[in-house]
Chain A
Amino acid sequence: MSRIDRLSERASGASGRAYGWLDDRFDVERGRRFLGKAFPAEDSFLLGEVALVCFLVLVLTGIFLGMFFEPSTTGVEYEGSVQKFQGEEVPESFASVLQITYDVPFGMFIRRMHHWAAHLFVASIGLHMLRVFFTGAYRNPREPNWVVGTGLAGLAMGAAYTGYALPFDEFAATATGIGYNLATSVPLVGDVIGKAVFGGEFPSSATIPRLYFLHVLVIPAAIAVLLAVHMAILVRQKHTEAPRDDDVPGQGARPADGAAAPGEASAGDAGDAPAVSDGGEATVAKEDDTVVVGLPAFPNQAAVSAVVFFLTLAALSALAGFLPVHNIAEYGPNNPAATPELIMPDWFLMWVYGFLKLLPTWMSFTVLGVHVSTEFLGGVVLPTLVFAAVALWPFVDYREEPTHFTASPLDRPWQTAVGVAAVQFIMVASIAGMNNLLGRALGVGTGTVNPILSAALVVVPVVSGLVTYYVLRGGSEAADADTTTEAVDDD
């Protein structure tokens, strides 16, 4: 054998040897079975993957941004390319974000991508939760994963909020100040929370480093842990599945004579039955949810996930390329002596802002020397109740028996009605958070729209929920009546 042949032989066996080396150390062979895990091929099941991709983009772009960002409010003379601030003393964090945006090649693109990924992360988690809610995919045994998902939604908002303030520009600092006021409004422990989260009275020299620490380490680590738990539960419990159209072949050995087993297509079949490889002694009924049917994780589902990955990146790239988000050069550095023309939190916290705007000041009270302010009620108590209601929902719509098939929202009148009412509630509260914009759009003052919004916050959800319930219940009753009539006719 020539030397070339020996080298060729060694090269061709390299992958096998590498695999053997890994298998000896990590027992890869036994873990391989997870590569076949069944993923039902449902379009709406891809929403969670969109959120996952967003988190990955956030981590990667965040690492890039972290190489340039300075988490400090110390004043420095700005020497970058933005004419407006040249020679001016600005906070170091503000100057570093200007540098990333205007003086680092593709810094503006990466920074925008980070921001849009943060917004898409929250939105995709929200839509994912709505899908799970309306299809009943939170029911037994998936209640724990719903609770974990609710925690992830809260953490995603927290991550976005703590990142919002970091450039220490006038707009974000003012909006972040709302959060500080809410934190310190908590009776008895407000000051401690304020010191823990904001590093003392806002804005202090410790505020930005503290929020930076939370933003780049504490919250991402918590998200990573909860994501791991979320995935582990999913793998353990397996996916929900949409109701099947047909029975599927059961597991079993092919008959020895080679005859087609039940449920197996043979050449020339009408094509209704699937082409089966493993054969089967019996079929699995389409109503049988002890079995989940789907694409194997590798390579089929992995390819689908790759498409989700690339298309999500494409969407984020398009947004980052063409639309600015949090353009700090337009707002200027934090100025305690001024107030920006527009004060508002991020869109996903607008409903909380709406509570703050609608609750009248006379609702504050003092008990045994402890003051309970309107800020605490509207900005802490109500949002906590909303999150608690979301987290506890699977225990309200409780099922004794495990349910693995998703349901149509049209077949669940009262659950869908509650969901519609809840969405309306958040939407009206969000409009209340933008009451100044609403007033501007209608040409009236906030004093005119606030009472209407206060009434709408109660009336709109209740009415929309009741309408949804009666419409769906009518549909269900009609369907039941049709079924009964058919049964009688058959008799």
Chain B
Amino acid sequence: MWFVALHGEPPSEEIAIDEGVSEMRPLSGIVDTPEKLAPSQVGVIVWVALFGLVGVLAAVHRFMDSAVRPDDPEAASETAVADGGRVGLPWFRTEDRWVVEYHDASDAMEGILAMGGLTILAIVFAALFTGEYLTLARTQYFGVYATGMFVSLALLTVAYYAWFLPHVQVAERREHS
């Protein structure tokens, strides 16, 4: 199906812009990309993008899940919190919900470094995006800067989760009383 779908639009010429009307250069870019895509080609691209996104999400999700769990039994027993039902936040437990697993956050130094670096990166990309907006407004550059900014923010969240959030699992009764 994808083989057929990719036989969409034939190549076409770039749209000519009258530079006397606007100082913007939305079509200036880093790489040559197609000028137009047929709906069938769009379908292939969006499904490839979705599978790629799902793959990245799964990898990140698994990293987050493993990073917050202590690897070895010794570490597990050291970071396990057992305070007779007092760990975590007040809403973790109700009459129908209770905490089944809790490990304190590691608060490791590498977490501080990662979050610091990623914060700077996100700010740099946001500044570049703003600069592009105020100057040539090139679409491909917007794409690079926005992607960089959002990836930085995603990784910033991952770092916070991995190093500064306690690992908590709750169990909840399905049938509420």
Contacts and interface: CB of A to CB of B under 8 A. Distances in A.
Nearest to A309: B154
Interface string B63-95: 011000000110011111111111111111110
B152 to A, nearest CB: 8
B15 A329 contact: yes
Contact of A108 (B5, B26, B52): B26
A120 B46 contact: yes
Contacts of A379: none
A296 B21 contact: no
B123 interface: no
B151 interface: yes
Contacts of B81: 275, 277
A251 B165 contact: no
A40 to B, nearest CB: 10
A461 interface: no
Nearest to B84: A254
Nearest to B60: A307
B17 interface: yes
A346 interface: yes
Contact of A307 (B19, B43, B157): B157
A22 interface: no
A68 B15 CA distance: 21
B153 interface: yes
A431 B49 CA distance: 21
Contacts of A441: 3-4, 7
Contacts of A139: none
A17 B44 CA distance: 54
Given A330-B12, A437-B8, A102 B45 contact: no
Contacts of A294: 169-170, 172
Contacts of A47: 54
B34 A310 contact: no
B122 to A, nearest CB: 10
A82 B72 contact: no
B110 interface: no
Nearest to A275: B80
A183 to B, nearest CB: 20
Given A248-B100, A327-B35, A438-B4, A276 B172 contact: no
Given A50-B53, A271-B73, A277-B81, A103 B22 contact: yes
Interface string B93-105: 1100111111100
Interface string A75-86: 000011111101
B139 A321 contact: yes
Which has the most chain A C-beta neighbours within 10 Å: B37, B102, B139? Answer: B139
A124 B137 contact: no
A86 B160 CA distance: 52
A437 B4 contact: yes
Contacts of B37: 323-325, 327
Interface residues of B, number: 104
Nearest to A34: B91
Contact of A38 (B83, B89, B133, B171): B171
A265 B74 CA distance: 12
B168 A103 contact: no
A291 interface: yes
B86 to A, nearest CB: 8
Contact of A291 (B58, B101, B172): B172
Interface stretch (A298-306, A359-367, A392-400): A298-306
A293 B169 contact: yes
A101 interface: yes
A265 B70 CA distance: 14
What band does the interface of chain A fall in when counting residues whose beta carbon is under 8 Å from B?
Answer: 35 or more
Interface in B1-33: 1, 3-5, 7-9, 12, 15-19, 21-22, 24, 26, 29, 31, 33
A148 interface: no
B79 to A, nearest CB: 7
B60 to A, nearest CB: 6
B56 interface: yes
A314 B147 contact: yes
A264 B168 contact: no
Contacts of A468: none
Contact of A312 (B26, B38, B53): B53
Interface string B109-130: 0000000000000000000000
A324 B35 contact: yes
Most chain A CB neighbours (cut-off 10 Å) among B31, B93, B141: B93
Given A322-B31, A324-B34, A345-B39, A278 B98 contact: yes
Interface string B149-177: 01101100110110001011111111100
B65 to A, nearest CB: 6
Contacts of A307: 57, 60-61, 64, 154, 157-158, 161
14 contacts: A38-B170, A80-B21, A84-B16, A106-B137, A276-B102, A277-B82, A280-B100, A291-B172, A291-B174, A292-B174, A308-B57, A324-B33, A431-B1, A437-B40
Given A43-B61, A310-B150, A317-B142, 8 more contacts: A50-B57, A116-B46, A123-B46, A248-B100, A304-B61, A322-B31, A330-B15, A330-B36
Interface of A: 32-38, 41, 43-44, 46-47, 50, 79-84, 86, 101-103, 105-109, 112, 116, 119-120, 123-124, 127, 175, 237-238, 248-249, 251, 253-254, 258, 264-271, 274-280, 284, 289-296, 298-300, 303-304, 306-308, 310-315, 317-325, 327, 329-331, 342, 344-348, 350, 404, 427, 430-431, 434, 437-438, 440-441
Interface of B: 1, 3-5, 7-9, 12, 15-19, 21-22, 24, 26, 29, 31, 33-40, 42-47, 49-50, 52-54, 56-58, 60-62, 64-65, 72-73, 76-94, 97-103, 132-134, 137, 139-144, 146-147, 150-151, 153-154, 157-158, 160-161, 165, 167-175
